[in-house]
Amino acid sequence: MKKYYRALTIAGSDSGGGAGIQADLKTFCALGCYGRSVITALTAQNTREVTGIFAVPPPFIGQQMDAVLTDIGTDAVKIGMLHSPEVIFTVARHLEKCQCTNIVLDPVMVAKSGDNPLQEDALAALKQALIPMADIITPNLPEASVLLGRDMDIPGAVKSAKAYITGALAAGADFSIGKGHGPVHHFFNHWPGSGNTNLPGNDWV
């Protein structure tokens, strides 16, 4: 008998069809997978904005997961919008109970339209319960900023990285280990007398 690769999406329903379970199921089908869904919320949205969210009660989310996972099982899980701590813990509990693997977490906290579908108190639950279970996390830049608690400044980060590696290479050239090229001096910025102590990230020197 032929077998499908089984993919499960746990997410909100997007009435506009461009995101959420609708987009996930289209992707699963396009890649030859057998898609199933667990709906966490109904949304009223289009290409411009989210105008309303109707939350699915956590116990019913758990029922959906049990129904799908105990019968069909899954080879991979894609997680999208989880709007409350109760939903997050419910999903995490059922994933663990069914020993799900290959988990992709899309932390839908800040939509491209600027709407914030995730409750404020759900962030800690997300970090505690689901992020440690995920194999891949796919935040956009605003979501990454929320998770890190600071802005995602790419030009500044690249500049800092370049300054660090340049200093580490220069300091490493002063040392001789083996017969080939000397090692990069990763701690040059923290060792007395070994480099510039004013580079970004050197907060404790």
Q: Determine the average pLDDT of the residues in 7-14.
A: 96
DSSP for residue 132: G
* Annotated domain spans of the chain: 5-148, 153-205
Mean pLDDT across the chain, nearest whole number?
Answer: 84
pLDDT of 179 above 50? yes
What band does 201 get if pLDDT is binned at 50, 70 and 90?
very low
pLDDT of 112 above 80? no
What band does 54 get if pLDDT is binned at 50, 70 and 90?
very high
Domain topology for 5-148? UDP-N-acetylmuramoyl-L-alanine:D-glutamate ligase (3.40.1190)
User: So what's the pLDDT on residue 63?
Assistant: 98
What is the DSSP secondary-structure string of 45-68?
E-SS-EEEEEEPPHHHHHHHHHHH
pLDDT of 199 above 90? no
